[in-house]
Structure 1
Amino acid sequence: MSNDKFVLLGTEIKKGKGAILELEVAKLHTRNSLKVPVIVERGKKDGPVLLLLGGVHGDESNGVAIVRDIIRKKINKPKSGTVICIPVFNVFGYLNLTRAFPDGRDLNRVFPGSSRGSLASQFANKFTKEIAPYVDCVLDFHTGGADRSNYPNIRCNFDDKVEFSLAKVFGAPYMMHSKYIHHSIRETIHKMGKPIILFEGGKSLHLDNDVISIGVNGALNVMKYLNMHEGDVEIKQDSVLIKKSKWLRAPYSGIFESMVKNGQFVTKKTLIGRVSDPFGEFEKKIYAPFDCYIFGLNTAPNVNRGDAIYHVSVKHE
């Protein structure tokens, strides 16, 4: 994109300059305004506008930390193009250490939003109108929800050549084909004709330095690939491509113990876990139904029958 004049949220950012802007969320009961900080850095040369987004769900701390580290290490200051960082998108959820908005809605299920809808929907609408039109590419950082921990993986639509290329250079251990979920940010950005890839790593309300490092390095790789930074893309290992996946569910209720590690490859009939009752009367073993990679793991000590316990690959290469 040629950015002879780049204006965001009513502020012009000149080449080689930066700005800290604010996207207003709502008025509080105390009459104070709640605003989301938007950190913009523009290179001296023309180039793409990249949005780095964290904290769409307020309890997903790793995503916030990844964007924070990108800013702290000044990776967000490109040689070419513009980088927009929103470390904490769902400020309400982040302050309350919860996933949802105060109205109980999942912010990532109300896009593109409405100016007359719920609080979450109104905020989504502001983003869709005031931020999204000015970006060329989006990296969205997430973690597993509740007690589910995700081994670092990048998600995109494999049928979209641009998204697939961006996901490949990101360099996460796993790449997962993921369709666009209705009313999600991904779907909205895709419908606007812009590529978006989503990084998953770790679990809610936990910081994982390895996950954070992979997220930061992945973002830097994407920026190098887009010629926003100088240097070669550095990929430590080729990503495992997961074309289809499923969740294995607990066959019984009880104390859940995993016998394998997250990120591990297992063969068919390998003992991967067990469920027992707290009184020592029964113990049920769980075996791998087929050869697969495990890239999502339920870390809860107790599970109910039908709970998702292992996210595994069905088709991979």
Structure 2
Amino acid sequence: MSKIKTEDVLDILGTKIKKGESATVSFNVAKLHTQNTIDVPIIIERSKKPGPTVLITAGIHGDEINGVEIVRQIISKGINKPKRGTIICVPVINVFGFIHMDREFPDGRDLNRVFPGIQGGSLASRVAFKLVTEVLPHADFVMDFHTGGADRFNAAQVRIIDEEPTLKELAKVFGAPFVLYSNNLSKSFRNTCHKLGIPILLFEGGKSFHIDNAITNSGVNGAKRVLDHLEMLNRKFKVSLPKNPCVFITDSKWIRASHSGMFKPIVAINTYVAIDDVLGHITDPYGSFNHFVKAKNEGYVFNINQSPIIYQGDAIFHISTEIENFVKPTVIETEQIKND
């Protein structure tokens, strides 16, 4: 990580916060059509001791509830009260989508495709601009929490770009079952952070409209490990190492449905499968058809489509094809649910 910012007084969104102080500031961009204001709370905790500033975000997509729940737990348990430095938490960036349980903004735009935003642009673009110009410049490091799409359940994973030693080290420390090398998408929050030289770990797990305890536990534990690594975690919290080392996935393939019908996966997420292993069944409602979905290559199953009805061509299983420092396993255990 590059040289950290040392701000004796944090001046953010019109509020000045000294070392050792706490504050909740409002991130307000627009009103509802009813003229009601919507304030997005940003929770800031500062230690008296100097140190890095970590920005923890979630809810870029309004339907990604697992990510919001992870940040909520980080705040409610006091994990965000640093031993040194500053922690800024934004639990729900797209509050408009969160209210309506919708991925996009009311203007139909995906917030994660409009960064760094435009001051006088669309509603989503204005939110992106304000986040990038008024919050992000204070951060030395970002953890951004996401959830999988509708009906597609993602294994707990961290996504980073290749050939970034700092990110690779922090991803190992985070300790999610999988680390997926993926390119930064144009106009995404992750790509904007990269261009500004701010390291970012993107966590993804579970599926939208759903809270999964194993996924949220993995996210909270990962955040604790990273904060402990940065010497920011309060000593009252215990940090446990993951049961298995991270699997770094360098390439992967989707299996797509060759038939339409009722779909029942039988393989568990995180399982290592061999070629021709049966992963699930596609049937018809009349009991006359039963198609066995088989693995086309060996690898880890790290995404499963859980929709009971699928159509020909739908992506149903995401399986790794190339892994760094490969050691053949059986199944990666998810972290047990613990209360701190």
16-25 vs 280-289, which moves further: 280-289
Superposed CA RMSD: 1.3
Measured in 2, the distance between the counterparts of 1:50 and 1:246 equals 34
Is 1:215 the counterpart of 2:222? The answer is no
> What pairs up with 1:10-89 in 2 under 5 angstroms?
10-89=14-93
Kept in 2, the 8 Å contact 1:169–1:233? The answer is no
Given that 2:79 and 2:234 are in contact with CA atoms closer than 8 Å, whether structure 1 keeps it comes out as no
- Overall identity of the aligned pairs, in %: 49
Question: How does the TM-score come out when normalised to structure 1?
Answer: 0.97
Matched with 1:160 is 164
* Counterpart pick for 2:107 among 103, 107, 110: 103
Is residue 153–residue 172 contact of structure 1 (8 Å, CA) maintained in 2? yes
1:286 aligns with 2:293: yes
Partner in structure 2 of residue 194 of structure 1 = 198
- The answer for the alignment partner of 2:153 in structure 1 is 149
| Equivalent-residue separation in structure 1 for 2:119 and 2:258 (angstroms) | 44
Structure with a larger share of its residues in strand: 1
The amino acid of 1:77's aligned partner reads K
- Check conservation: 2:111, 2:124, Cα contact below 8 A: yes
- Structure 1 alignment gaps of length 5 or more: none
**1:205 equivalenced with 2:209 (yes/no):** yes
Matched, 1:234 2:240: yes
Instruction: Give the equivalent residue in structure 1 for 2:7.
Output: 3
1:256 is aligned to: 263
CA offset at residue 56 of structure 1? 1.0
Is 1:271 aligned to residue 278 of structure 2?
A: yes
**SS state of the match for residue 46, structure 1?**
coil
Matched residues in 2 for 1:161 and 1:170: separation?
14
Residues 188-230 of structure 1: CA distance to partner in whole angstroms, max 9, x if unpaired? 0100001001111111111111111111110011111111125
Deviation sequence 1:132-154 (CA, Å, 0-9, x none) = 11111111111111110111111
Matched with 1:115 is 119
Partner of 1:2: helix, strand, or coil? coil
Q: What is aligned with 1:130?
A: 134
Runs in 1 of length 4+ with deviation above 4 angstroms? 230-233
Aligned to 1:314: 321
CA drift at 1:233: 5.5
8 Å Cα contact 1:25-1:36 kept in structure 2: no
Figure out how many residues of one structure are paired with residues of the other and give that number: 317
Pairwise CA distance, 1:61: 0.9
- Is the CA contact 1:68–1:87 (under 8 Å) kept in the aligned structure 2? yes
AA partner of residue 240 (structure 2)? E
In the alignment, the residues of structure 1 paired with residue 32 and residue 265 of structure 2 have an alpha-carbon distance, to the nearest angstrom, of 44
Take 1:8 and 1:246, find their aligned partners in 2: how far apart are those partners?
43
Q: Which amino acid aligns with 1:279?
A: Y
- What is the rounded CA distance, in whole Å, between the counterparts of 1:149 and 1:218 in structure 2? 19
Counterpart-to-counterpart distance in 2, 1:29 and 1:143: 28
Cα distance in 2 for residues equivalent to 1:252 and 1:154:
32
In the aligned structure 1, how far is the partner of 2:163 from the partner of 2:245? 19
Q: Which amino acid aligns with 2:115?
A: F
Q: Is the 8 A contact 2:193 2:199 kept in 1?
A: yes
User: How does the TM-score come out when normalised to structure 2?
Assistant: 0.90
The answer to whether the 8 Å contact 2:81/2:234 transfers is no
Asked if 1:92 is matched to 2:132, the reply is no
In structure 1, how many angstroms separate the alpha carbons of the residues matched to 2:252 and 2:190? Answer: 19
C-alpha distance in 2 between matches for 1:290 and 1:307: 18
In 2, the alpha carbon distance for the partners of 1:159 and 1:246 equals: 22
Q: Aligned AA for 1:306?
A: G
**1:111-162 deviations in whole A, cap 9, x for unaligned?**
1111222111111111111111111111111111111011111111131111
Letter in 1 for 2:31: K
Structure 1: distance between partners of 2:262 and 2:114: 36
